[in-house]
Structure 1
């Protein structure tokens, strides 16, 4: 029997190191939380009878000496957890006996240690269950597992990947498993088709967090509209009075395009401006960049909600983290955005997170942008082009087994 001690920052990393060095047959003898992380004692060629015999005679066999400063949780045969120490001294009704407070503090410490060890044990067991479930799926449904692996390589979030794979037919061949991921993503990525045939008429307000490129995107859309319909048929409206220089930037673009910019400070002034511009072909509204946690978001949503016939378009930056994109979508859901514009494709190392958010919330895509040039760096959204671009920017190597087990193992086990 070969025993080795592993120390890692957390239980997941420790279990990953055990699997990589000792393989799936390794047995966890004990776990312990330390100041610098988690200690795991693991063994291969484990002989339970030998360990029991050694324990009966007081010999530690090959197990390294344990630090007696903290209780150790053993999981090789049966989970054993030490109960918190309790005082046997009687408790008086009127006053605490001498020494009762140190005993209570020690009991609280032991309880906290026990909870920590049970939490580590639960995490370890979940990881082992995930690994077993994923390995079983690879054995029983290798092609479906292959599709999930390819979705992960593309950066698609686990919940979206599972939902797409659930729609696969029961029987697929190797050729289908190779090409289905890209096809499924293209089919589930909704595009509005706006701008394909000059159908950009109406009032459009671009909303979204700060720094996503709303003002530059409005300039690109305005330039396209000017080339198609003339400057006298295009108008710009600014409601961004929080950011220093925001209105000046929009006015600069307006002067270059020969388009007038109108300010709107509240719901009433916005209503009057839009009424005055009713005859214009294209009206674009630039709004302040407001995060979901900003109290000004409610005020901005109320201003836009009062404007009838307004088409809200949510602007998201493709280089943002997936969770940030999802938070932004949820923050602006009360406005019921009609569509989305995905910016900064040229700055995104991976497009999988952005595609996952669009598919999860079923947001149609109007346009994509991939640079600062006006009006060149904007294109009408094309699902197949975007998915192919995501495939080109995806990681070159397939994800490892531990990542696949972590993402899909528990879901497979509970299915």
Structure 2
């Protein structure tokens, strides 16, 4: 028994190689589809194959028309010592029969030339029904194709190979289970590639930081201090690049803090200085109502209580109007409640003679679907120019602050107000938010007292306060981790 493995770009080429090298007596043992072609394992009886290849007398060649009528006994000889003649026309006819059973597809030019050299008629007489699947016992009418006798190729297993060949050529969509498996494999591969990419990015970033610390340790130290203050790392690295090289460490740090101050924008007390209509928007729990009361009290001190008015659009929270009305009675100014854009426009028209009108909006999460409706209420008003200030808590996470700014930017923001500075341990986050979003800072609040706990934003004071909090936190961490070494005197006595 002689067993050999064949590799080819397609099934037809592989079958031709099997026929040329082992003859039609070869038995296909297995076939497999590879990435770049197909693989066939074929076997043949070595004793029978050798003499057959050695001698093929011309006297046994029969005309092609008579080949299908011969019996299988004409091709098999009982004497093992004699060569078994195989007509060339019969060999070609077996390969032709194999190809005729395939679905009607255009043949390649190589196959057409091979048949033309062998003198074989390549006209396809068999027409397969389009809507019927191919099965082993499929009934074919006589008008569709002539009856073909069983050939030696069928007895050698080429019929099973034909079905396997159809399975290889069938589209993947015909096998949903395999498609699902491939989809899961692709998903797993993508996850692994993303993990590798993140690992490489992390390693490259670490190498760059180490290289920067080695080449310029002073600049790297300043970046670490800014990051320790809570400022975004990218912002810190960009600013550190502009620090002069020929300065001392202390001078470079002062220059870096000055650059941070210059990047910040403030509104210079716009609300109380200019007056007008202002709406305070923001998520729930950041202190919008208390901030409105503080600004209203300061406005009453400057313009008089009769020139200040308060409006609330909060119809969701229980007691929202009553809370603002209580502040209004204490300050001595009027308070109105509106439900939609039409009522807001009407109330603003009646309050057109007021010097300062403050609108307290309902506190909603940046992911609340009702937020769009509330913001549209402010944007639809065409009669009065309403300036919006975003109120943010200094205790919120940096990612929460970024997402809040992104959602509330649907309305044109004139500035922002940071609250709860007295509860925050770091102020670098709000500085980064203001710089990255080019959002002017209007006011800062640091308590619940009305109107004492509110300050006009000042960039220099805010940066200095952020540095003080950083130094205080660093000192506390150092003292907490510093431990006294235990005494070893008399331990081993």
Superposition deviation, residue 287 in structure 1: 0.6
Superposition deviation, residue 144 in structure 1: 2.3
Superposition deviation, residue 118 in structure 1: 4.8
Q: Give structure 2 stretches of 5+ with no counterpart.
A: 1-34, 41-160, 478-493
Q: Which residue of 2 aligns with 1:175?
A: 250
- Which of 213, 231, 236 is residue 161 of structure 1 equivalent to? 236
Residues 281 and 389, structure 2, Cα contact 8 Å, conserved in 1: yes
- Which of 193, 199, 223 is residue 148 of structure 1 equivalent to? 223
Q: Which residue of 2 aligns with 1:224?
A: 298
- Which of 243, 247, 250 is residue 324 of structure 2 equivalent to? 250
User: What's the secondary structure of 2:413's corresponding residue?
Assistant: coil
Q: 1:260 to 1:102 in 2, by over 3 A?
A: closer
Residues 350 and 393, structure 1, Cα contact 8 Å, conserved in 2: yes
Q: Which residue of 2 aligns with 1:348?
A: 424
RMSD: 3.2
Cα offsets for 1:297-332 (capped at 9, x unmatched): 222222112252222111111111111111111112
- Which of 331, 342, 346 is residue 407 of structure 2 equivalent to? 331
- 1:301 to 2:379 alignment: no
**Cα distance between partner residues in 2 of 1:104 and 1:202:** 64
**Cα distance between partner residues in 1 of 2:243 and 2:310:** 46
Q: 1:273 to 1:153 in 2, by over 3 A?
A: same
Q: Which residue of 2 aligns with 1:193?
A: 268
Residues 243 and 252, structure 2, Cα contact 8 Å, conserved in 1: no
Q: 1:163 to 1:102 in 2, by over 3 A?
A: same
Aligned length in residues: 311
User: What's the secondary structure of 1:262's corresponding residue?
Assistant: strand
Superposition deviation, residue 361 in structure 1: 1.1
Query: TM-score scaled to structure 2, two decimals?
Result: 0.57
- Which of 212, 232, 251 is residue 137 of structure 1 equivalent to? 212
Residues 191 and 366, structure 1, Cα contact 8 Å, conserved in 2: yes
The correspondence of residues 364-403 of structure 1 with structure 2, limited to 5 A, is 364-394=440-470, 395-396=473-474
- Which of 274, 278, 285 is residue 359 of structure 2 equivalent to? 285
**Cα distance between partner residues in 1 of 2:405 and 2:179:** 49
Superposition deviation, residue 281 in structure 1: 1.4
**Cα distance between partner residues in 2 of 1:322 and 1:204:** 26
Q: Give structure 1 stretches of 5+ with no counterpart.
A: 1-83, 400-415
Q: 1:245 to 1:128 in 2, by over 3 A?
A: same
Residues 143 and 172, structure 1, Cα contact 8 Å, conserved in 2: no
**Cα distance between partner residues in 2 of 1:166 and 1:295:** 42
Q: 1:384 to 1:276 in 2, by over 3 A?
A: same
**Cα distance between partner residues in 2 of 1:221 and 1:146:** 41
User: What's the secondary structure of 1:316's corresponding residue?
Assistant: strand
Cα offsets for 1:128-187 (capped at 9, x unmatched): 222221111112222322221111111101232233234434654323222233222222
- 1:238 to 2:312 alignment: yes
Q: 1:113 to 1:360 in 2, by over 3 A?
A: closer
Q: Which residue of 1 aligns with 2:337?
A: 263
- Structure with greater Cα Rg: 2
Say which structure, 1 or 2, has more relative contact order (CA 8 Å, 6+ apart): 1
Query: TM-score scaled to structure 1, two decimals?
Result: 0.67
Superposition deviation, residue 373 in structure 1: 0.9
Q: 1:264 to 1:149 in 2, by over 3 A?
A: same
**Cα distance between partner residues in 2 of 1:374 and 1:92:** 85
**Which moved further from structure 2: 176-185 or 109-118?**
109-118
Q: 1:336 to 1:119 in 2, by over 3 A?
A: closer
**Cα distance between partner residues in 2 of 1:252 and 1:217:** 14
Cα offsets for 1:174-211 (capped at 9, x unmatched): 23222233222222121111169x51411111111111
Q: 1:388 to 1:113 in 2, by over 3 A?
A: same
Q: 1:179 to 1:111 in 2, by over 3 A?
A: same
Q: 1:125 to 1:332 in 2, by over 3 A?
A: closer
**Cα distance between partner residues in 1 of 2:346 and 2:404:** 29
